[in-house]
Chains A and B, each alone.
Chain A
Amino acid sequence: MPIFIDEINIKNIGPISEKFGGKLVKLNLFYGGNETGKTLLTEFIMCSLFKTRGLDIRPIVGSGKIIVAGLDKNPVSFSPSSSKKFEDYQLQNTVGITTHLPQLFIVKGAKVELGTDETDKIILQRYLSGKEILDIIENRVKQVNTREANIENNEIIGKNLGDIKTRNEKRTTLKTIDTLFTDINQQYLGGDRRILENQKIETEKQLMEMENAKRFYANTISKNIEQLENTRHEIEDDVLDEISKEINVHDTKEKDHGKKGEQYNKTSQNSKNYSWVKKAEEIYNGQLRKTSSISAKKFLLIPLIIIMILAGAFSFLNLFFGVIGCLAALIVFGWFYVKGYQELLQESGKNSEIERLKEGYQSRFGQPLTDLALLKIQVEQLQQEYSQSEVLNKQLSEEETQLRESEDQISLKMNNLFGKTIEKNAWNETIKQAKEKNKKLDKEIKEEQIKLSGLNVDETDYNTEPPSLEYDKKTYEKLQSNLTEINGEIQKIDTNLNGLKNGICSITGDDPNLNWETLIQHLKQKRKEIDEEYNELTAQLVGQISVIKVLRELRKVEDKKIQEALQSDLIKKPLYDVTKRYTDFRLEGDNLFVVDPYTEFPLNQLSTGAKDQVLLALRIGFCSKLFKQDSMFLIFDDAFQHSDYKRRPLLVEKTIELVKNGWQVIYLTMDDHLKALFDEKGKALGTDYKTFTLPSTQ
């Protein structure tokens, strides 16, 4: 069903004070002179039918309504105050033309062009696509980076520039803040530190008790060492060494004495026949000498005789002294001779004694006594032993005295040292034991000192008060280790907390010396601010990207839409209908060409008349295309007024043809010539032509 204006009724519009209008037909001529309200009527129709925001139209005064048929099931009434306008019908899927609809449907004055100083393509884009408005909207998204951004899996994907960069930074900051909050939860707000502190307090308490126990233990060890040292110093090693030395000397002497005794016994034994041999040798020798003396006395006779002769001689010679001397010598020799002779007599009686000596020798030495030399050798041999024995005997006697004295001295010392009488045979053992005891004590003292040293307790810290528990090194060390570990953990937490504080301050710009509560509160505020900014920016970016995507999708079909539109019958048919020559359009670059069966011409190179016809055809085609109608209505506000008189009949004829093709035309004019032309040509339309004469103001 064609869309056409069924009825126009107005009142109090400018000079039109009375009710004016009525039912419209196919071709409607509104005729009136100057200042009769034609322009106001045109603007009233424009404001009633179309959205005119942004258009240079005077405020509408007066009232009236325009009934349009074909838009809906029932005729629709439009007035300037209608909320729903012409564009709101059947245009839901078309973008970009609404601001130009009045310009399309209403040709004001000589403005037959669909655009001013615009390329053909722009005009076509305006009416056949929505590029113009798409550009305007897209240009509102200032940042190219945002225009080029995409959204994938709820993530804005784009170069890290501009708003996207700012958003990324805010998101990073938010994550940082959230991490800080997590850390706050973990490190500051959690009970871990308090647990550790409690453990520390408990461990320190136990450690203190153990420390007291340790000090007490140190004191105990110290006392023990003191006691051990006292015991140790009762008998000093040097005293023991000294007495031991004495005992050794004594023992050595005694031993030597014993050896000497043995030697003595041996020499004594060996020389036991010495006296006999000596005696025997004397006897033997005596016997032999007597025998020899006897023989010698025989030899004395001669001297005696000589002496006697000499005595005689001297006497004879009266040598008194000679005689005296001879007499004296005679007496001496005589005595010797007599004496020897007596002995010889005696010894000769003793030859049996020599025999007995020989027997005794045999029995004593196991060899026969052959001669005196043997006996003498024996004597010499035994005499050495005998002499040695005698010396030894003497020495033994002296040593015995010394040993007795030494023993008495040692015994006394031992008694003094050990407080009791120690038998001589127990001296060494006693000293050995004492030394071992000392050694043991030394060892014990050393051990205790090591223990004490290991405790590392200063003497001034010794505790004499018995502790509540017993010192246990392992427990003490374990407690120390635990305390160190706990302190380490606390220190670690504190270090982390300091790091955390610095982290918070780097976000909030606060002084790290502020308390935690204030810092956390500031961090909360900061998070809230950034979160709001982040959400706002995200909303803005997602909104803009969504719009850009919509625009892109609309653009994708833009050129195609133009080409399709130009090739559609809705556009092509009016071209031939109006021009009776051109059958087709072709768009090349920014220029529109019209095509006839033989050639093609750029629109801007056509004659004015031909161009007007093409533009009219385009206007008709655009309207048909937009509203998917073969025929609608057009309003010409003295559109042919400036055409020369030769062209006017043709234009009017074309209008009549247009009407015949089903279009409704409302033509407003003050031109009598044009009115006459319309009246003449309109006759062919019969009742489909109607003239409305605007009331004269005069």
Chain B
Amino acid sequence: MFFFIPYQKDAVMGEVLASNAKELSQQKWILIGHGDWESGIKTSNPLEPGVYMPLCQRDIDVFKPACVFLGHIHKPFDEGYLCYPGSPCGVDISETGKRRFLVFDTKTLRTEIHQVDTNVIYFVETISILPLVDEENYLRSRIKNIIQSWGITEIEKEKVRIRIKIRGYSSDIRQLKQIVQEEFKGFTYCDGEDVDLSDVFLSDNLDLEIIAREAANKIQEIWSSGVLSPTYDDILFHALKTIYGGK
């Protein structure tokens, strides 16, 4: 049985489910609703701030839907039997990546992911750099890996809209910009922007470069960046600030 819960202002899904608990308890059922999952409750949707008909783990535990499909959060999200298919087309640059729709098999209760052929595909990337002897190769390699992770085809390339920010320290900012432009050639910057190098600082001190490289290794050695902790790039950026001072 599919149980659809349309959005109701000032209501929570648990209430609606509770009102239909008896009926729901009698058969296997799939919930389709519009609202915030737990994580959505903690995290604001910049487009629609507020709390939208939330669903919590306890509701799942109590009413036991076989699968849950939710709307409202535009970012695709999958967590076991619960998923947000996400918006089929990115509304703005904040909705990055390829968009998708899901086909649900009512017999196997499995979903199949299908990509939506959208007009634009947004990507936002921030790359931290540090001055290396082979700074150029390092940067080119990182950019190639990033582009590869997007998983786009040549045909899709022209649909891509990018926002790129580089931060850190470079021995040659002009060359850095050139490398970035070369590697992202063929992609279109969002809203006519250019690569953001406002947080890139010149490093012409080999002593500091040596310490920076050691620090980069040390960070990897002593800190594992988890989902909630700062990223390696964030930590490295602060380490570089300490090494280079005041920038």
Q: Give A contacts to B, CB under 8 Å.
A: 51, 53, 83, 85, 87-88, 91-99, 130, 133-134, 136-137, 140-141, 151, 154, 178, 181, 184-186, 188-195, 198, 516-517, 520-521, 524-525, 527-528, 531, 535-536, 538-540, 542-547, 549-551, 553-554
Contact = CB atoms under 8 A, between A and B. Distances in A.
15 contacts: A88-B133, A154-B223, A188-B12, A194-B15, A195-B21, A520-B51, A521-B50, A528-B43, A536-B234, A543-B238, A543-B241, A544-B239, A544-B242, A546-B219, A553-B214
B206 A88 contact: yes
B42 interface: yes
Given A83-B171, A99-B207, A549-B222, A521 B133 contact: no
A517 B238 contact: no
Interface stretch (B56-64, B67-75, B138-146): B56-64
Given A95-B207, A99-B205, A137 B41 contact: no
Contacts of B55: 189
Given A88-B133, A521-B51, A191 B42 contact: no
Contacts of B32: none
Q: How large is the interface on B (under 10, 10 to 19, 20 to 34, 35 or more residues)?
A: 35 or more
Give the residue among A188, A543, A545 with the most B Cβ atoms within 10 A: A543
Interface string B200-215: 0000111110110011
B12 A93 contact: no
B25 to A, nearest CB: 12
Contacts of B13: 189, 191
Contacts of B42: 178, 181, 524, 527
B175 to A, nearest CB: 7
B2 to A, nearest CB: 19
Sorted nearest first, the 7 A-B pairs with minimum C-beta distance are: A191-B14, A543-B238, A543-B239, A191-B18, A185-B56, A539-B230, A194-B15
Interface string B1-45: 000000000101111111101000000000000000010011110
Contacts of A151: 222-223
Contact of A186 (B17, B58, B171, B231): B58
Contacts of A553: 214
Contacts of A87: 206
B44 to A, nearest CB: 5
A550 B230 contact: no
B14 A539 contact: no
B241 A130 contact: no
Contacts of A195: 18, 21, 62
A189 B56 contact: yes
A539 B205 CA distance: 24
B237 interface: yes
Contacts of A542: 219, 222-223, 230, 235, 238-239
B41 A181 contact: yes
A524 B246 CA distance: 32
A87 B208 CA distance: 12
Contacts of A92: 133, 206, 210
B224 interface: yes
Nearest to B229: A538
A517 B219 contact: no
Contacts of B10: 517
Contacts of A97: 207
A192 B14 contact: yes
A547 B41 contact: no
A198 B20 CA distance: 10
Contacts of A93: 210
A569 B230 CA distance: 48
Contact of A546 (B12, B222, B230): B222
Contacts of B235: 538-539, 542-543, 546
B54 A189 contact: yes
B156 interface: no
B218 interface: yes
B245 to A, nearest CB: 5
B56 A186 contact: yes
A536 B238 CA distance: 9
A195 B18 CA distance: 5
A151 B18 CA distance: 48
B80 interface: no
Contacts of A98: 205-207
Given A190-B56, A517-B10, A550-B218, A544 B238 contact: yes
Nearest to B174: A83
B49 interface: yes
B175 A83 contact: yes
B236 interface: yes
Contacts of A554: 211, 214
A547 B243 contact: yes
A556 to B, nearest CB: 13
A95 B234 CA distance: 25
Nearest to B218: A546
Contacts of B95: none
B51 A516 contact: yes
B183 interface: no
Contacts of A95: 207, 210-211
Given A191-B15, A192-B14, A140 B245 contact: yes
Nearest to A174: B228
Nearest to A188: B12
A457 B102 CA distance: 62
Contacts of A528: 43-44
Contacts of A184: 41
Given A134-B211, A189-B54, 13 more contacts: A83-B171, A92-B133, A93-B210, A130-B207, A154-B223, A189-B12, A191-B15, A191-B62, A539-B238, A546-B219, A546-B239, A547-B239, A547-B242
Contacts of A188: 12
B192 interface: no
A194 B238 CA distance: 49
Given A93-B210, A524-B43, A542-B219, A141 B63 contact: no
A459 to B, nearest CB: 40
A94 B59 CA distance: 61
A545 B241 CA distance: 12
Given A192-B14, A195-B18, A521 B49 contact: yes
Nearest to A136: B245
Contacts of B59: 189-191
B239 A194 contact: no
A191 B62 CA distance: 9
A578 B230 CA distance: 56
A314 B154 CA distance: 208
B51 to A, nearest CB: 5
B239 A536 contact: no
Contact of B41 (A51, A189, A546): A189
B11 to A, nearest CB: 9
Contacts of A91: 206
Nearest to A94: B210
A544 B238 CA distance: 7
A517 B62 contact: no
A529 to B, nearest CB: 11
Nearest to A134: B211
Contact of B219 (A136, A192, A531, A543): A543
B41 A536 contact: no
A684 B243 CA distance: 50
Contacts of B43: 524, 528
Contact of A190 (B62, B214, B215, B242): B62
A151 B133 CA distance: 29
Nearest to B14: A191
Contacts of B230: 535-536, 538-539, 542
A365 to B, nearest CB: 111
Residue of A97, A140, A536 most packed against chain B (CB within 10 A): A140
B41 A185 contact: yes
A198 B243 contact: no
A418 B50 CA distance: 86
Of B16, B218, B242, most A-chain CB atoms within 10 Å: B242
B167 to A, nearest CB: 12
A51 B206 contact: yes
